[in-house]
Structure 1
Amino acid sequence: MPSTVSAPPRGPSARPGYRAVLGAPHAGRTFAAALLGRLSYGVVPLALLLTVREATGSYSAAGAAMAVFALASVLLSPVRAGLVDRHGPRRVLPPMAVLYGVLLLAVVAATARPGTAPVLVGALVVAAGACTPPLGPVMRTFWRRLLPDPALLRRAFGLDGVAEELLFVTGPLLVGLLLPVVGPGGAVVVGAGLLVAGALLLVASPVAAGGPDGPGEADGRGEAGGPGGRGAADGANGPGVGAAPVGRRRRTPLGGGRALRAAVLASAVTGLALGALDLMVLAFAEDRGRPQAVGWILAALSAGSAVGGLGLGALDRPVPNAARLPLFTAGLGLALAVAGLAPGPVLLGVAVGAAGFFVSPALTTAYLVADEAVAPEAGTRAGAWVNTAFNAGSAVGGAGVGLLVGHLPLPLCFALSAAPALAAAPALLRMRDFGGPGPRRKSDPAGGPAA
């Protein structure tokens, strides 16, 4: 089956922007489906927290339920992504999404009855978290199929990161609108429905049917160095150029070498910084008697991240990703350290916005580095590892700063939270020659990471 996706043509003087990204065949509908499903990630956690709190009357029970939900979701993310890489999104995502939705409905049903055992609720919550479909990593894999041009792929990853940031802002707002109408349990049901609908629409896209990243296919660059892959058939419908024969699919190790380790490190320290920042902003605002300032200070973080992500995607200068990664992590750490010196909420908001300017570019570049580091059939797992590192870092950052706030001066807390990002920059500089075993993109003529 010939591939149905290709990149828009580029002339020598062309400056493709975000319109070219969304104008690629099937890109708009595929991205919209992914965003619909990923909106659930902003809805379900808050709605589930409120549901368990209302049923048990205990904040500690609700917090414990959300902790195990997050742990199951984060720690098993690479496993779920590996299933997608091995068997393909059309075989894995629909049953995973339906099971996730059914388990969330079971949580709502269990909490609707008084006297439900907390152990049962906890078990259902853990099971739901374990089944969370990896829509973000899958969409980033689809972007690679849609856009072989490195400049367009960078814009797509930047746009994807900014959109995800906005979804995590929009999700809680949607919960606030749903609560007076359907209550917290109804909001959980809506979140489950969003994910199931988005996942089913995503795998209905022609992009999910084939391409160089389909399961069972060989490296998209071809065994003999030829282009391969782009016109390859889907493994389920017969072999094509660069594809392994049906029934002889090989299970490829993740690999990735130093490049993947660098991407995971950058993502982890970015998550750690952001996980610590939320609590420090709250402590700062309460210390100044301005708790209402928390919302707009954190909104400045999201706004800065959006500007940084869109700006990165608009760049035309071919700065290697290996050079960008330490610069973005160092910029984030420096801005976070300076934020601790702010005398008031207004300047803190400016400093936090400046820190946010580096967040989306750092994560986007980490995803690009991971994507370049591994064979196409391991792309979803590589993205999942970067995502897992960010979430794990965020959890550690939040927990760690929670032990420090109240015992140390806030400027020192900010500095300590910035230290991992600053310390990671020299390590990433030493790792910038990504000479590990991971395969190179054919589109990178110099042999280094694609721009």
Structure 2
Amino acid sequence: MANPYSEIFSAPGAKAFSAAGLLARLPLPMTHMGILTMLSETTGQYALAGLVAGTFTFSMAFLGPQVSRIVDRRGQGRVLPVATGISVIALGALLLCATTGAPTWTLFVFALLSGLMPSMGAMVRARWTEIYRGRPQLNTAYSMESVVDELTYVISPALAVTLSTALFPQAAPLAAAVLLAVGVALFVPQKRTEPPVKPRTETSSGAPVVFSAPVLMLALTLLFGGAIAGMVDTMGLAFAEQQGNKALSGLVFAVYALGSGISGLAFGALKLRIPLPRLLVIGVTGTALTTLPFLLVDNIAGMAAVVFVAGVFFAPTMVVIMGIVERTTPEHQLTEAMTWMIAGLQSGVALGAAVSGVVVDAYGTRWGFAVAIGAGAVALLLALTSAPMLQRHLAQREGLPASPTDPANPADPTNEHNEHNEHDEHDAHDARDARDEHDEHGEHNDRGNCGTEPHRSQVPSGN
């Protein structure tokens, strides 16, 4: 049986843009923790450090979708260098202000401007979508990207703390700026896989895509789902400290990412016939239910076990949400819509961590877990109420009846089987065309073949 993850990287340029995208997305979580560590070391004021780091995070959550909105209209190659340049310069100015003892307000101004950092996770997903739109490989690509997100959010904060404490306080933000600049510089020149700018439809209002019902409801669902992950960050630290070994908090973070990563990879290898709105309800239900065992935790081992189970539902739910976004959003607004999903998640993590911290300080560790339970309940309510609406939008976009049991619906097993046969025939035809063109011209296929399955003898290009 072919490895589905090897298969997605057979597309020309896939390995190159994915690697460059990984390098460029490490700075986001590294910058937040780097600012926090740098200012706590240089000023000794944890409140100030938290506020400035929070300013960057929420600025990124708001400005990131605006950058992606312009990307949808102008293209990645024209927008990413400008947004990256402003963000890198602002980060450099923030380091300078922190080092020279500049007025406090300057820290907030440059943290705010640093939030123009582009959402590279959305940029990478946009390229996968352009290559595999309407094909099963897209689900595998989205699953892999969710696992990559998990890895970056485990590796980057730990690396930031290590750099700023072992070398010098400004080391982590400096490294984040360098990684962002290098990653984007490697990513942008890869024109073969860059999504072309899609023409706007006649019915398009020009309003931000977040005002559309599917995008808004899914972003809110991720906001409350992210609050659970934020609670894990705060409570892992607080609970480990209560148990007398603060260093064990790293184990809690790693186990959560491990559970999410394993399930994400497994989910990407499956070819399910369940409608996406139903999968969303299943995933969010699992996420909500797995918050209840937190009330029974009484040691760090139990905490790690519960966190692992809670993480199992995270990545698959993220994959399902991205799949719904891809199918319900006009192509000319897709990057912006995906960025709103990531922004909702990031905002939820920040809010969950902050609220959990306040609750722990006021009422004790046990009550901190109530934040996750409440967030899970709200996320489940949002998923249940939005599922019928999402099904209608999916049906409208595909020109099909809204009922998931209708024979014409792609969720129907028989129809899906027929579609797979059609895809197989289409892929075989494309492979023959690619072989003929290769024989005739001798060199490489043009950009138009990016979305088809390459011939097995082709070696993916770095561009």
What is the TM-score with the length of structure 2 in the denominator? 0.79
CA drift of 1:97 comes to 0.7
1:142 paired residue number: 127
2:110 paired residue number: 124
Is structure 2 residue 283 aligned with structure 1 residue 296?
Answer: no
Q: Give the number of aligned pairs.
A: 404
Return the alpha-carbon distance in structure 1 between the equivalents of residues 136 and 55 of structure 2: 39
Q: Which amino acid in the other structure matches residue 94 of structure 1?
A: P
1:52 paired residue number: 39
CA drift of 1:264 comes to 1.9
Is structure 2 residue 5 aligned with structure 1 residue 23?
Answer: no
Q: Which amino acid in the other structure matches residue 392 of structure 2?
A: F
Question: Quick one: higher RCO (CA 8 Å, sep 6+), 1 or 2?
Answer: 2
Is structure 2 residue 63 aligned with structure 1 residue 76?
Answer: yes
Whether the 8 Å CA contact 1:216–1:250 is kept in 2: the answer is no
SS, match of residue 184 in structure 1 = coil
Q: Which amino acid in the other structure matches residue 191 of structure 1?
A: A
SS, match of residue 317 in structure 1 = coil
1:203 paired residue number: 188
CA drift of 1:91 comes to 0.6
1:153 paired residue number: 138
Q: Can you list the C-alpha shifts for 1:13-69, whole angstroms capped at 9, x where unaligned?
A: x75600011121111001001001011123222222222233333222212211211
Whether the 8 Å CA contact 1:137–1:383 is kept in 2: the answer is yes
Moved more, 392-401 or 198-207: 392-401
Q: Equivalent of 1:281, from 236, 239, 243? A: 236
1:34 paired residue number: 21
Whether the 8 Å CA contact 2:91–2:114 is kept in 1: the answer is yes
After TM superposition, list the pairs within 5 Å mapping 1:157-172 onto structure 2.
157-172=142-157
Is structure 2 residue 322 aligned with structure 1 residue 378?
Answer: no
Q: Which amino acid in the other structure matches residue 137 of structure 1?
A: A
Is structure 2 residue 305 aligned with structure 1 residue 318?
Answer: no
Q: Can you list the C-alpha shifts for 1:367-397, whole angstroms capped at 9, x where unaligned?
A: 1111111111100011011112212222332
Return the alpha-carbon distance in structure 2 between the equivalents of residues 40 and 68 of structure 1: 16
For structure 2, list consecutive stretches of 5 or more residues without a partner in the other structure: 417-463
SS, match of residue 435 in structure 1 = helix
After TM superposition, list the pairs within 5 Å mapping 1:241-280 onto structure 2.
254=209, 257-280=212-235
Q: Which amino acid in the other structure matches residue 84 of structure 1?
A: V
Return the alpha-carbon distance in structure 1 between the equivalents of residues 94 and 49 of structure 2: 12
Q: Equivalent of 1:393, from 345, 348, 351? A: 348
Q: Equivalent of 1:337, from 287, 292, 296? A: 292
2:363 paired residue number: 407
Whether the 8 Å CA contact 2:86–2:113 is kept in 1: the answer is no
Return the alpha-carbon distance in structure 1 between the equivalents of residues 76 and 408 of structure 2: 33
Return the alpha-carbon distance in structure 1 between the equivalents of residues 62 and 215 of structure 2: 18
Q: Can you list the C-alpha shifts for 1:269-325, whole angstroms capped at 9, x where unaligned?
A: 211221223223333334444434322122110100101110110112332221111
CA drift of 1:260 comes to 2.7
Return the alpha-carbon distance in structure 2 between the equivalents of residues 285 and 185 of structure 1: 28
Return the alpha-carbon distance in structure 2 between the equivalents of residues 95 and 199 of structure 1: 10
Q: Equivalent of 2:170, from 172, 181, 185? A: 185
What is the TM-score with the length of structure 1 in the denominator? 0.81
After TM superposition, list the pairs within 5 Å mapping 1:103-118 onto structure 2.
103-113=90-100, 115-118=101-104
Q: Can you list the C-alpha shifts for 1:405-441, whole angstroms capped at 9, x where unaligned?
A: 3427436555334322333342244445233797349
Q: Can you list the C-alpha shifts for 1:77-128, whole angstroms capped at 9, x where unaligned?
A: 2211101111111110011111211111112222222x31111222112111
Return the alpha-carbon distance in structure 2 between the equivalents of residues 395 and 338 of structure 1: 23
> Given the superposition, is the C-alpha separation of residues 98 and 72 from structure 1 closer, same or farther in structure 2, using an over 3 Å criterion?
same
Q: Equivalent of 2:376, from 387, 403, 418? A: 418
Is structure 2 residue 52 aligned with structure 1 residue 65?
Answer: yes
> Given the superposition, is the C-alpha separation of residues 168 and 438 from structure 1 closer, same or farther in structure 2, using an over 3 Å criterion?
farther
SS, match of residue 204 in structure 1 = coil
Whether the 8 Å CA contact 2:218–2:321 is kept in 1: the answer is yes
SS, match of residue 146 in structure 2 = helix
Q: Whose helix fraction is larger, Structure 1's or Structure 2's?
A: 2
1:231 paired residue number: none
Q: Equivalent of 1:217, from 186, 194, 199? A: 199
Q: Which amino acid in the other structure matches residue 404 of structure 1?
A: V
> Given the superposition, is the C-alpha separation of residues 16 and 95 from structure 1 closer, same or farther in structure 2, using an over 3 Å criterion?
same
1:230 paired residue number: none
Give the percent of matched residue pairs that are identical in Structure 1 and Structure 2.
25
1:237 paired residue number: none
SS, match of residue 217 in structure 1 = coil
Return the alpha-carbon distance in structure 1 between the equivalents of residues 390 and 108 of structure 2: 43
> Given the superposition, is the C-alpha separation of residues 449 and 52 from structure 1 closer, same or farther in structure 2, using an over 3 Å criterion?
farther
Return the alpha-carbon distance in structure 1 between the equivalents of residues 166 and 227 of structure 2: 36
